[in-house]
Amino acid sequence: MASAVFILNLKGKTIISRDYRADVPISAVEKFIPLITELEEENGCATPCLTHEGINYIYVQQNDVYLLALSKRNTDAMEMLVFLRKLADLFIDYFKELQEESIRDNFVLVYELLDEVMDFGFPQTTETKILQEYITQTSNTSQTQVAPPIAMTNAISWRSEGIHYRKNEVFLDVIESVNLIAAPDGTIIQSEILGKVHLKCYLSGMPELRLGLNDKVLFEAAGRTIKGNAVEMEDVKFHQCVRLARFENDRTISFIPPDGEFDLMTYRLNSNARPLIWVECDSIVHSGSRIEFMVKAKAQFKKRCIANNVKIIVPVPEDADSPRFQSSNGHVQYAPEQAAMIWNIKKFSGGKEFFMRAEMGLPSVHGEETNKHIKRPVQMSFAIPYFTTSGIQVRYLKITEPKLNYHAMPWVRYVTQNGKEYAIRQ
């Protein structure tokens, strides 16, 4: 349980606070920034859970704000961390971004949410769709008291009763983001796949869904032969609607979904697969007055797949000017603010190779200074539909609703895209 929750800026100044139990002095928050500063100086980093003078400080940081919970009791630290992270996600759902400015602009709404998500220091609900049924961003001129949805007190707190659609559909997206760093010789320095299963549910009543994946652990536990590839997922995290006990017993993903969009699960995979798009970049400096680039890009994924909106960012010297480009596909533009040229390819089919040549003017400088740009890697962004790097597949998605007994149509889509860092060193 929490005694109080604070929203602070990076300087430790209180933006908004809510005292639930009145057993912690409000002045305790003033010691928060000095405490984490002292820990960072001593250990190089600060832990998310601190104790000082009998008061527990539990916090998360999002952009330029801290969400801080204070408690004098033996609090479940992990529960409070999860609550604060859920609270951050709730604010993002309402305001689109969580920053000091958005908190100040919506302070009335923030106070309403803080009153509902916690009662006397005990977390209640952080489900956006349920809270949005009676806490809205529009003014309400009616004086009638609005009762909370029944879902707030039900075992299924993430879904309201009485939902009805004329057409019952489920859209399932398997989205994988690839983070990769490769050496010039093709050696993979770092590679991982961050995946998520995203659902859009437009289903009536209280449907129960069962999802089957080509899970390696499931096949091995059942003693079944594996047809094709099976995937062994790591760091799997589920939405609270998934019945975890059933998944641990027989690896069945069974759940009653929230209404609308949500992430059913996220996972991570270590990958040593070769880069999906490989780029080689050679540069030649001519007498210190101009530099010439020869860039080759090759799609190393299945021929039947197509990468959309490929962007290849090639670093150039910061003082380069007068660019001239030639490319076998797409178009190239010079971005002086990034000290780079950007090669845009709208459609890049698997197995294809494209070439680009660029020439830029340079002031008369020494070669060593000119070559500094080579130390920066080539970066890429892309999206490949109908393809997953890990090979994960949806084997089935079964939908049952005993009371209404309707037929629902599931739609499944796969997308692979670049992660936060997808770079090839030159």
Better-predicted residue by pLDDT, 252 or 346: 346
Going through 109-223 in order, the beta strands assigned E by DSSP cover 118-119, 122-123, 169-182, 188-202, 208-213
Summarize pLDDT for 22-43 with one digit per residue, the tens: 888 888 989 999 988 888 888 7
State yes or no: pLDDT of 212 exceeds 80.
yes
Cα distances (Å, whole numbers) of residue 62 to 1, 79, 139 = 22, 18, 28
Cα distances (Å, whole numbers) of residue 233 to 68, 268, 271 = 33, 6, 11
DSSP type of residue 323: E
Q: Which range in 97-101, 142-146, 321-325, 348-352 is most confidently predicted, on average pLDDT?
A: 348-352
**Local confidence band at 371 (pLDDT 50, 70, 90 cut-offs):** low
- How many angstroms separate the CA atoms of 47 and 112, rounded? 30
What pLDDT is attached to residue 368? 53
Contact 180, 277 (CB under 8 A): no
What pLDDT is attached to residue 13? 92
Which class for 283: exposed (0-12), middle (13-18), buried (19 or more C-beta within 10 A)?
buried
**Local confidence band at 224 (pLDDT 50, 70, 90 cut-offs):** low
- How many angstroms separate the CA atoms of 86 and 125, rounded? 9
Summarize pLDDT for 277-293 with one digit per residue, the tens: 999 999 888 876 888 99
**Ordered DSSP codes for 230-244:** -B--EEEEE-TTB-H
CATH of domain 4-138+146-152: 3.30.450.60
Q: What percent of the chain has pLDDT over 90?
A: 50
Candidates 191, 180, 194; CA nearest to 424 is 180
**Local confidence band at 221 (pLDDT 50, 70, 90 cut-offs):** low
Summarize pLDDT for 295-341 with one digit per residue, the tens: 999 999 999 999 999 999 999 988 888 899 999 999 999 999 999 99
Average pLDDT over residues 206-219: 82
**Which pTM was predicted?**
0.73
Cα distances (Å, whole numbers) of residue 105 to 13, 97, 111 = 16, 12, 12
What pLDDT is attached to residue 331? 94
**Local confidence band at 369 (pLDDT 50, 70, 90 cut-offs):** low
What pLDDT is attached to residue 149? 52
What pLDDT is attached to residue 142? 37
Region of 228 please: left (phi>0), alpha (psi -120 to 50) or beta.
left
Biggest alpha carbon–alpha carbon distance for the chain: 80
Which class for 66: exposed (0-12), middle (13-18), buried (19 or more C-beta within 10 A)?
buried
What pLDDT is attached to residue 196? 94
Average pLDDT over residues 75-98: 90
DSSP type of residue 224: P
In sign, the C-alpha dihedral spanning 368, 370, 371, 377 is: positive
Candidates 89, 101, 56; CA nearest to 75 is 56
- How many angstroms separate the CA atoms of 45 and 39, rounded? 6
CATH of domain 169-273+390-424: 2.60.40.1170
Q: Which range in 145-154, 219-228, 392-401 is most confidently predicted, on average pLDDT?
A: 392-401
State yes or no: pLDDT of 145 exceeds 70.
no
What pLDDT is attached to residue 76? 85
What are the domain boundaries of the chain?
Answer: 4-138+146-152, 169-273+390-424, 277-385
Summarize pLDDT for 36-63 with one digit per residue, the tens: 888 888 877 778 998 888 899 999 999 9
**277-385 has CATH 3.40.1710.10 classification:** no
What pLDDT is attached to residue 403? 87
**Local confidence band at 155 (pLDDT 50, 70, 90 cut-offs):** low
Average pLDDT over residues 249-266: 90
- Sheet arrangement for strand 14-19: 14-19, 4-9, 65-71, 55-62, 49-52
3-state SS track over 135-166: CCCCCCCCCCCCCCCHHHCCCCCCCCCCCCCC
Tokens of 97: 């971004």
On the question of a common fold for 4-138+146-152 and 169-273+390-424, the answer reads no
- How many angstroms separate the CA atoms of 361 and 324, rounded? 9
Summarize pLDDT for 406-426 with one digit per residue, the tens: 888 889 999 999 999 999 998
State yes or no: pLDDT of 138 exceeds 70.
no
Contact 394, 211 (CB under 8 A): yes
Average pLDDT over residues 149-171: 78
**53 contacts: CB under 8 Å, gap ≥ 6:** 28, 31
